[in-house]
A and B are shown apart, each in its own frame.
Chain A
């Protein structure tokens, strides 16, 4: 009986910690997340192939996120795989069986969010890299 009571206590504590932790993390995200920037932004999007060849596209956009900026501009065509991630760029489709995929970089850093959540900044440089292998 006593053990059952202790177990119930532990379960309640763990549930409470989980809820508090989720709320704390949500708060940190809300406070520190990158906020969208209003107005016209001039950005550069580069498409880089596996052999290193690179094509730059200058885009002027009022969109807040990269996906909208690229799709609204129309110079680069994007296709999405079944997971909703970029799987095709300008007709070049990834073959996941060969560990091919399109990786996304913002100002030289690997993007930690998807193209739909990547905030566009004026003067920003973005890269869509055709990547082979997962050790990059």
Chain B
């Protein structure tokens, strides 16, 4: 990675952290999923650096509790899905991907709880949070539908000036 790339990765990680902290009081309404989708489309594999820097910073702010282990894979799952679909140019597609990610977020997190407390604990934990997953899914869909284009345009414009997209 070039120095410019490192600076952009640091900057994007900081933005990701900032939007997470700012939206934290809103129950399951977040911009992190949207940004991870856009970062993956724009920065490709370098997004993994952003995701893991973000995860470490989150741990430093909120503490490395059980929840933190979910951050080691949930965003990477989204990264992989977006990478697989990255050749398709459609806001509706990304809104649906973001919405689906919100819907399955609890189930993905429950994987960690499966190892901590067993299958019964994981399932009950998942079911008790389904209301949040439904809100998360619908909110992600709307947020992505509204904000994808403007943020994507800003980032692509910015990177065409300063960032190696290889």
Contacts and interface: CB of A to CB of B under 8 A. Distances in A.
A113 B28 CA distance: 12
Interface string B82-120: 000101111011001101100110000000000000000
B93 A25 contact: no
A11 B100 contact: no
B147 interface: no
B130 A29 contact: yes
Q: How large is the interface on B (under 10, 10 to 19, 20 to 34, 35 or more residues)?
A: 20 to 34
A83 B22 CA distance: 12
Contacts of A28: 127, 130
A25 B127 contact: no
Interface string B121-153: 000010111111110011001000000000000
Interface in A40-89: 81, 83, 85
Contacts of B132: 112
Contact of B134 (A7, A17, A29, A114): A29
Q: How large is the interface on A (under 10, 10 to 19, 20 to 34, 35 or more residues)?
A: 20 to 34
Chain A interface secondary structure, helix, strand, loop or mixed? helix
Contact of A134 (B63, B131, B137): B63
Contacts of B93: 10-11, 14-15
B85 A14 contact: yes
Contacts of A33: 130-131
Given A7-B88, A133-B63, A134-B63, A14 B97 contact: yes
Interface of A: 7, 10-11, 14-15, 17-18, 21-22, 25-26, 28-29, 32-33, 81, 83, 85, 96, 112-114, 117, 133-136
Given A11-B90, A134-B63, A135-B64, A112 B128 contact: yes
B131 A29 contact: yes
B92 A21 contact: no
Contacts of B100: 14, 17-18, 21
Contacts of A85: 25, 27
Contact of B131 (A22, A83, A113): A113
A17 to B, nearest CB: 7
For the complex of A and B, list the 6 residue pairs with the smallest distance between their C-beta atoms, beginning with the closest. A135-B63, A112-B128, A18-B96, A134-B62, A29-B130, A83-B25
B161 interface: no
